[in-house]
A and B are shown apart, each in its own frame.
Chain A
């Protein structure tokens, strides 16, 4: 496994990088041996992305040194990084999905003959690369037709084709299914065996534990500590990341559920019309909706919020049967949705924090169609304070806020309407540990006030920690329900993988 030769493949010494108003990196050091997989973890804003961007040539440091094979190198552009064998696999993939696999791998470096692209050579050369990353598709397959997880493998093959020795992976599993994630693990392990070094960045500590030879923890732009293979465990990582202990597997105190807030009977979603869904969520109850990616959880929330039409069945909110043909119907019934994709569906990034926060409540607060700016300001101020949204002022564009604060804006937009039932789709995806805790606190506060909460999460910990009860979906249907006394990872995984069926 880890090469123990004295000269590390990559060494970073005392790297600093300042941005307007913040010191993103204040003297970070890092060593990476040949064939070693290290994870760099830390809260958002800890400096992980900046460090990776510097290594990949996207940004340049203010001071510090980078050594490759013991020799100082300058990485001032992405091509420079690639020439040195350092490649970054972005969180969002950079592929042209209208082109085929081989063309993507050799994009910009196409094998040529007489000035024209040598197609045959392109396809032939891509075959061994695809084998290396365990991708068993034709090099002529359009990238568009591949599921996300396999597209990622194409990206890795592309990195290998430029002779990458250091592969930096930024949250590679954030939108992968369990199966795809497992395949990615295998590829990473195989690459390690062939001497490729990997720097792995993830918020998912389970993955970090599974893959890493060593974990490097950053906090506030500085090294917060390191964990060797046998020291890697969840608590130790969290402790180093936040610099303090957090309560261990906390479960929220039990409390009596109120009247039914949402009753779903025989509901069929357009994506999985063969399954009839039946369940109830009570006032003041937090219900986790667990399942593997693609199990139909988001689709269910979309139908409940009126974005997609149900194929059949009834929905009652607080005892009243409601027609849900548009988000407007759902909002009128007292529903609110914090959607999966915060940037595309939750926020208007180029609008001010203030205008985002008031967007849903404008209609209620308007006087015969005219804006009530005083009320808008009051509500905005109230939400910024209540949710502790960190923004210089309410005129700041939502674009410039961190993920956690953006998510709080989406939540605040709905809380201004005082919803009866809150639907949350992956409420803490991609946000840092601190902001996560705050979202959890808010969920509990709201439940305490009698709001019913139905939340989708792919993070087992979150389901276990927050749910009064978990509903589990499998391939479009509800495969079971786990009451609070029996909440455990095993119980949920059994149902999520269909093992609990019949």
Chain B
């Protein structure tokens, strides 16, 4: 809970600071863009969070986004498949990727880092191969489908500001994920096995199946991200789409309170973490900070967040100990 308050505070500070320096930050256009991109990253980060909660990692998510995005454009524009069939292909492919990761990690007992690192290379290469490394796009033929990414939902009482469609998708995904994690036995199983897989297995939990499920959720949300990112961008570079996004997603999860040791994390925290990263990116552009420094700033912010969190924990523990020993002495 403290973690969420802390990171929400950080989000507010960055927003207020940027808004004061550059009022354009609050313009409808800028806010809608930032919200749209925060939502897209939020969806992908939720997926990665599930894997991190099991104590694993998914490095392949950026390449999964690249492959699924390119597959969608390829199926629609080059193979002229229907929209339904193309979406089914993309999502089916995502499920397959997650399933493969999960099976290799649980049944072959390979390390998640290694499996998904290979995935990172393979899916990127596959995306470049099927597109012949040429940029692909949707042109202006798929207005209906593109609404998923650039649709605008009017809000009551204001005409100036509309809600980007991905925000709604993100909201649906987040609510479903939060319910799954907190209200179902499967969510409890994930948290339990993330802490101690052996004890979870000895308690009658099918830990392999739960881990596989986490990787499938991660890849499918990566696939959803691939669809939305590609529709949003319209023109795609097979070598560039989603590149490095796995690091944003992992960073958002960590900033949002997930422990890489597993067993810890909240959906809300991850979403706010993703938002912080996007707002920072936006602030850097608006404030005219050289964009080369973006990674430096993001890296420092994450580091600072983790350090502050650790210090707060220690101070709290020391205070508790002091209070209790004073109580005991009295």
Contacts and interface: CB of A to CB of B under 8 A. Distances in A.
Interface of A: 18-23, 305, 307, 326-328, 330-331, 337, 339, 344-351, 355, 359-360, 362-363, 366, 369-371, 413
A371 B325 contact: no
Interface in B280-330: 320-321, 323-325, 327-329
A20 B321 CA distance: 6
A18 B186 contact: no
A1 to B, nearest CB: 41
A413 B200 CA distance: 12
B324 A369 contact: no
Contacts of B111: none
Nearest to A23: B328
Contacts of B325: 18-20
B193 to A, nearest CB: 9
Given A307-B202, A328-B204, A328-B206, A371 B183 contact: yes
A344 B196 contact: yes
Contacts of B195: 348-351
Contact of A360 (B186, B198, B203): B203
Contacts of A305: 202
Given A363-B204, A371-B183, A345 B199 contact: yes
Nearest to B324: A20
A345 B198 contact: yes
A369 B327 contact: no
Given A350-B263, A370-B184, A344 B324 contact: no
Given A18-B325, A19-B328, A21-B324, A413 B203 contact: yes
Given A348-B196, A369-B186, 4 more contacts: A327-B204, A331-B204, A362-B188, A370-B185
B191 interface: yes
B236 interface: no
26 contacts: A20-B327, A21-B324, A21-B327, A21-B328, A22-B328, A307-B201, A326-B206, A327-B202, A337-B202, A339-B202, A344-B198, A344-B199, A348-B195, A348-B196, A348-B199, A349-B196, A350-B196, A359-B200, A360-B203, A360-B204, A363-B185, A366-B184, A370-B183, A370-B184, A371-B183, A371-B185
A22 B325 CA distance: 9
Nearest to B325: A20
Contacts of A339: 202
A370 B200 CA distance: 18
Contacts of B185: 362-363, 366, 369-371
Contacts of A337: 202
B183 A355 contact: no
Contact of B199 (A19, A22, A330, A347): A347
B255 interface: no
Contacts of B205: 359
Nearest to B182: A371
Contacts of B321: 20
A23 B324 CA distance: 12
B241 interface: no
A371 B202 contact: no
Contacts of B184: 366, 369-371
A339 B183 CA distance: 29
Most chain B beta-carbon contacts within 10 A, residue among A19, A307, A362, A366: A362
Nearest to B202: A345
B43 interface: no
A23 B189 CA distance: 38
B192 interface: yes
Contacts of A355: 188, 192
Nearest to B208: A326
Given A344-B198, A346-B202, A366-B185, A351 B191 contact: yes
A397 to B, nearest CB: 10
A18 B203 contact: no
Nearest to A369: B184
Interface string B196-238: 1011111111100000000000000000000000000000000
B158 to A, nearest CB: 37
Contacts of A359: 188, 192, 200, 203, 205
B1 to A, nearest CB: 13
A175 B242 CA distance: 52
